[in-house]
């Protein structure tokens, strides 16, 4: 049994927006993902840290969900900034049940357990979301979702998964960092940063929390193993 994570698969099996157009590392990325994720076994768990599908609705994203569901093991999904298909937890869970996607779970105002370790998280916050008239509302909602998830873990050891980086060169979201430290999160895994932005990522220990960039292109489309 092993716990893995990867962010930003950007699947587009039901739409016409593949990432291959960006060339470089993204050329043939679905095949690279398939090869990288071939390490998964039925007893494993994979946390997908956002930007899962380019589908604009659950129906449009269904081929991407089917692709993920066909992989061995449990897949835990959290929202990225490009997951426009994202809906209420109840609607997503019902859709997965109706389609028979039994291995897909949602990380949203909750936590999941991997043995005695709690898997917590939410999309997070990024400076690009600070738009007039709505930035503060979205920000506070993300903080609340993160704290709800961390509280659900109780006194268990906690790992946190975000889509947005909570800290990188030139920018830190202090309220999110404060929550991670307050709830004694052991490690935080995040995506969103691609290509040249990889060099901006903060990785390493900060006030007792270890930070890791797990965007798919940074990991060369191979999931990062966290625990056995």
What's the pLDDT at 133? 58
Average pLDDT over residues 215-228: 97
- Pick from 201, 183, 199, 181: which is nearest to 191 by CA? 201
Within the chain, residue ranges assigned H as helices are: 29-36, 58-69, 89-99, 135-152, 174-182
pLDDT for position 130? 66
170 band by pLDDT with thresholds 50, 70 and 90: confident
CA-CA distance, 1 to 15, in Å (whole number)? 34
pLDDT tens digit sequence for 42-97: 999 999 999 999 999 999 999 999 999 999 999 999 999 999 999 999 999 999 99
Residue-averaged pLDDT of the chain: 94
Lowest-confidence range among 6-15, 165-174, 202-211? 165-174
Please give the C-alpha separations between residue 14 and each of 6, 54, 74, in angstroms, as whole numbers.
Answer: 21, 8, 22
Of the pLDDT bands very low, low, confident and very high (cuts 50, 70, 90), residue 171 is confident
Using pLDDT thresholds of 50, 70 and 90, give the confidence band for residue 126. confident
DSSP 110: S
Cβ atoms within 10 A of the Cβ of 219, count? 18
pLDDT digits (tens, 9 = 90+) for 26-36: 999 999 999 99
Give the model's confidence band at 132: pLDDT under 50 very low, under 70 low, under 90 confident, else very high: low
Residue 68: CB atoms within 10 A of its CB come to 21
Tell me what pLDDT residue 131 has. 64
> What CATH number labels 3-227?
3.60.21.10
Asked if pLDDT for residue 127 goes beyond 80, the answer is: no
DSSP 116: T
Q: How many other CB atoms are found less than 10 A from the CB of residue 225?
A: 12
From CA 153, how far away is CA 114, in angstroms rounded? 11
Q: Give the per-residue pLDDT at 16.
A: 84
Burial class (CB in 10 A: 0-12, 13-18, 19+), 21: exposed
Give the whole-number percent of the chain exceeding pLDDT 70.
96
């Amino acid at each position: 049994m092993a716990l893995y994570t990867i962010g930003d698969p950007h699947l587009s099996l039901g739409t016409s927006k593949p990432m291959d157009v960006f060339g470089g590392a993204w050329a043939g990325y679905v095949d690279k993902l398939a090869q990288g994720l071939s390490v998964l076994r039925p007893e494993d768990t994979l946390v997908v840290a956002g930007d899962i599908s380019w589908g604009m609705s659950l129906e449009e994203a269904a081929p991407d969900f089917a692709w993920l569901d066909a992989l061995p093991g449990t897949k835990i999904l959290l929202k990225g900034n490009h997951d426009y298909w994202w809906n209420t937890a109840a609607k997503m869970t019902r859709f997965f049940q109706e389609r028979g996607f039994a291995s897909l779970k949602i990380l949203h105002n909750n936590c999941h357990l991997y043995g005695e370790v709690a898997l917590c998280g939410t999309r997070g916050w990024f400076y690009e979301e600070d738009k007039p008239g709505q930035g503060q509302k979205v920000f506070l909602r993300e903080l609340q979702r993160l704290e709800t998830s961390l509280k659900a873990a109780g006194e268990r050891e906690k790992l946190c998964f975000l889509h947005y980086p909570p800290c990188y060169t030139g920018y830190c979201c202090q309220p999110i960092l404060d929550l991670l430290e307050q709830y004694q999160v052991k490690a935080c895994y995040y995506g969103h940063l691609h290509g040249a932005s990889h060099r901006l990522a903060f990785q390493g220990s900060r006030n007792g929390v270890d930070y890791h960039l797990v965007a798919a292109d940074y990991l060369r489309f191979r999931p990062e193993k966290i625990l056995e």
